């Protein structure tokens, strides 16, 4: 299953057009190539897909989604929980 967990932008590298985001405590880099220049700022919540930031979401929606994800994660065993958070943006394209 492919889930896009809201991630908070913690750093922006304008030279390489990459943002560092925090996804439930996991830090990763994501490309800004699909977003308009200057649209994403530090502190924004975004959704990722296969390493690209696809869109921004408002903080209220992000918090509601994160709360739901946390409830789901609490039902999983530790290994499954870690795999879900670490691999959330690596879902294959499906037709």
In the chain, domain spans? 7-86
Where are the strands (E) in the chain, listed by range?
7-13, 18-23, 26-31, 45-49, 52-57
User: In CATH, which of 3.60.110.10, 3.40.50.1370, 3.40.50.2300, 2.30.30.140 is domain 7-86?
Assistant: 2.30.30.140
Structural contact between residues 23 and 85, judged by C-beta atoms closer than 8 angstroms: yes
Cβ neighbours of residue 68 closer than 8 Å, sequence gap 6 or more: none
Chain segment 6-19, per-residue pLDDT in tens: 999 999 999 999 99
Q: How do residues 61-78 score in pLDDT, each as one tens digit?
A: 999 999 998 888 888 887
Burial class (CB in 10 A: 0-12, 13-18, 19+), 42: exposed
Please tell me whether residue 95 adopts helix, strand or coil conformation: coil
Global pTM exceeds 0.85:
no
């Amino acid at each position: 299953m492919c889930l896009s967990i809201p991630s908070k932008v913690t750093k922006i590298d304008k030279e390489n057009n990459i943002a560092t985001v925090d996804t439930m405590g996991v830090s990763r880099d994501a490309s800004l190539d699909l977003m308009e220049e200057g649209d994403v700022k530090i502190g924004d919540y975004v959704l990722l897909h296969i390493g690209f930031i696809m869109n921004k979401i408002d903080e209220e929606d992000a918090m509601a989604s994160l709360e739901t994800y946390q409830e789901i994660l609490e039902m999983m065993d530790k290994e499954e929980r870690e795999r879900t958070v670490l691999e959330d943006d690596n879902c294959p394209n499906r037709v």
